[in-house]
Structure 1
Amino acid sequence: MKSLFTIALACLMLFSVSDVEAQRRGKRTKKVEIPLEGTVFHIRNAKSGKFLDVSGTANSKKARSNGTNVQLWDLDGGADQKFKFVPAGNGYYHIQTQHARMNLDVHGCFEGKWFCGTYKKDKGANVQVWSAGRSEPQQWKLEKGTAPGRFYLKNRYSGRYLDANNSDVQKNGCNVLQWNKDDNTNKQWELVDVKTGQKFTM
């Protein structure tokens, strides 16, 4: 009788230990959901694997000036490659640089202004940084891309999409502009948490 009791007790303890170990393994493998708001991201081009970057070094006058170009570059750890998504209303966000309080913005004139070489609604209008404001050319919306963890970024004012120049997309310094939406991966982006390296999904 004693031996049966001992065997039963041993089995119960074994099951308990196995259950705790299984729970522990589950906690280790479970991914933590990344919030869009409040997280600092690197923005990686889905085609080339290069990252959104403000031209010039993070502490330079150039990188902190209105109208400075946005490009692709290898990851270098600079604050000019780090961005936050700041709510702008109706599902749109300001994409704000972390080296200075500046937003991604579309270059050019607003409609109705005469004698302007480029308008903010033009296909191919350049993307730049500008002092943080509330204007629609500084607002962007995430739309799901063609694979999990990939996104299109749609400009509120123009209705066009953040795009890396396809002919140079594998090169450092590849220009970033706006274009019409299609399935090409040079127009799709991955948001990578700076702290964990995990991609944002929704």
Structure 2
Amino acid sequence: MTVRGRPRRLASLGAAVAVLLGLLGAYAATGAPAQAATSQFRGVNWADARDNFLYDENVPIGLSKSDNYATTYTKSTAILKGFQNLGSNTIRFGINPQTTSSSWWGSLTAAYDAANALGMNVMIAPWPPTGGRISDMNAFYTMWDTVIAKYGTNSRFYFDIVNEPWGYSATELTNLAAAFLQRYSSIPRGRIVVPGLYSDIDLCAVGSDTRLNGTLLSIHMYTLGGETHPTEADWVNSFKARLCGHADRAVLTEFGVPMNTGVNYNGPRDGNNNVSYFYALTDTVRELGMGSLLWTGVKDTNQTQGPGPCFNASCAITSLTGSGTNLSLTVTNQSGLDRVRHGWGLDGTQSPTPTGSANVLRGAGSNRCLDVPGAATTNGTQLTIWDCTGGTNQRWTTLPNGALQVYGNKCLDVPGHATAPGTRVQIWDCNGGANQQWNLNSNGTIVGRESGLCLDVTGAATANSTPVELWNCTGGSNQKWARQ
């Protein structure tokens, strides 16, 4: 959020918002935003207690620069499990060049590694402290070189180029993003997050620049800069206009309201600006299937209110309790969490209710079933075909969102949102992602909604343990499955 701890920028941000609002009618002419494919991101920001606009190392709340890797890992695991209890599967960290060039970096990576071990998505974003512009490009790229050298090959990690770039023209920002993509061309574009213009509040330029095709897009929205609306509907219109028709790639990487004022966010939708805003954003991300990351995940109980309208201490959904490595989180506003979970599509349950009974999926060409080898339950276990036994490792349940679930909590998954023929399929914790959604067609094919490719028995083989993968749909018997 641009004004957290940076009140001197309120006037200039307000001016930008005013300009943006003056253009909303033009943006609305682009039509309704496309349906999103980013709902796999349900999460929170885990920030430094001082906010992330820093001139020294970023230290997420609850951690300490005096901690070694092992202690940081233990503390982080406790806090991250608290976030998971909210329904979160994604964590967004702030970073800066001072962090990666310091000895603290070796310990901080324990927090990233702990999130990865818990099966969470990790999004990393640098915060420029000087007016939102990158002041030292050499230091900026040295920082990113360090991060990507360590995590670039890990499909759970996402790289948000820069948080809330300020003072850039549309041309400058899109050129910056294009240069970043060229420098790190080995990273799949679906794991790179391009920020919106005017401190992440406008996706028009970045979304329409074809050089940036395939990337995710970051948008932020707060009740700041003088923007107020009397109704949820007005806030919805404002938010959708800022998406500029690019909701299919957008993630709401920051949004938030005060959680420490006793406001009931399940109350009347209209009449209170913060409440109307919060209804609008959570309803809209759910409607469009967009991912959303709340600002912010946790505050320290000793933390005092900062100068901005949504500083960590006021907008945090949880408070940190405990000492040493014995840490836990306490929800600060249950109605606020209810609204966030509604936006995430959880509404009191993290798993969609299955439709119908569990069935085996028998290959027409092999007469063998889609099988989790050895009845394994480990994320990343790759699937094969095997003699049909009717075991729990062969019984697949269709969920309302198109997922195929086994064991009641694992889903048929395409690693890293890959769309290339030959990608092996696996099981992973059900997260609602587009890479876990399938169309079961009347001709027997099972087609990935994200890839458009068919579930295929490699090489049309019929032997036990033959791998199952994605492949171009050919109509072959090795791509046809019977539910029994």
Shared fold (TM-score, shorter chain, > 0.5): yes
Does residue 94 (structure 1) correspond to residue 94 (structure 2)? The answer is no
Q: Could you say what secondary structure the match of 1:44 adopts?
A: strand
The Cα of 1:170 is off from its aligned counterpart by: 1.4
The Cα of 1:144 is off from its aligned counterpart by: 2.3
Does residue 152 (structure 1) correspond to residue 445 (structure 2)? The answer is yes
* Equivalent residue runs for 1:1-202 within 5 Å: 37-57=355-375, 63-88=376-401, 93-97=402-406, 99-107=407-415, 109-110=416-417, 120-145=418-443, 151-167=444-460, 169-192=461-484
The Cα of 1:78 is off from its aligned counterpart by: 1.5
Q: Structure 1 residue runs of 4+, over 4 Å off?
A: none
Instruction: Give distance in 2, aligned partners of 1:170 and 1:66.
Output: 25
Instruction: Give distance in 2, aligned partners of 1:101 and 1:50.
Output: 23
The Cα of 1:100 is off from its aligned counterpart by: 4.6
Conserved in 1, the CA contact under 8 Å of 2:364 and 2:477? yes
Q: Could you say what secondary structure the match of 1:96 adopts?
A: strand
Conserved in 2, the CA contact under 8 Å of 1:72 and 1:174? yes
Q: TM-score, normalised by structure 1?
A: 0.62
AA at the equivalent of 1:153: I
Conserved in 2, the CA contact under 8 Å of 1:38 and 1:84? yes
More strand by share: 1
The Cα of 1:190 is off from its aligned counterpart by: 0.3
Q: Corresponding residue for 2:163?
A: none
Conserved in 2, the CA contact under 8 Å of 1:71 and 1:175? yes
Q: Could you say what secondary structure the match of 1:186 adopts?
A: helix
Q: Corresponding residue for 1:19?
A: none
- Of structures 1 and 2, the one with the larger relative CO (CA 8 A, separation 6+) is 1
The Cα of 1:75 is off from its aligned counterpart by: 1.5
Offset from partner CA, 1:53-82 (integer Å, 9 cap, x none): 00113xxxxx11110011100022320011
Instruction: Give distance in 1, aligned partners of 2:383 and 2:439.
Output: 18
Instruction: Give distance in 1, aligned partners of 2:440 and 2:390.
Output: 24
Which structure 2 segments of 5+ residues have no match?
1-353
Q: Could you say what secondary structure the match of 1:56 adopts?
A: helix
Instruction: Give distance in 2, aligned partners of 1:41 and 1:161.
Output: 19
Q: Could you say what secondary structure the match of 1:137 adopts?
A: helix
More helix by share: 2
Q: Could you say what secondary structure the match of 1:38 adopts?
A: strand
Conserved in 2, the CA contact under 8 Å of 1:64 and 1:100? no
The Cα of 1:84 is off from its aligned counterpart by: 0.4
Instruction: Give distance in 2, aligned partners of 1:49 and 1:65.
Output: 26
Matched-pair identity in %: 31
Q: Corresponding residue for 2:218?
A: none
Q: Corresponding residue for 1:31?
A: none
Conserved in 1, the CA contact under 8 Å of 2:385 and 2:467? yes
Which structure 1 segments of 5+ residues have no match?
1-35, 58-62, 111-119, 146-150, 193-202
Conserved in 1, the CA contact under 8 Å of 2:360 and 2:390? no
Q: Corresponding residue for 1:22?
A: none
Q: CA RMSD in A?
A: 1.5
Instruction: Give distance in 1, aligned partners of 2:390 and 2:475.
Output: 30
Offset from partner CA, 1:118-148 (integer Å, 9 cap, x none): xx11111110000011100000001222xxx
The Cα of 1:191 is off from its aligned counterpart by: 0.3
AA at the equivalent of 2:446: L
AA at the equivalent of 1:37: T
Q: Could you say what secondary structure the match of 2:478 adopts?
A: helix
AA at the equivalent of 1:129: I
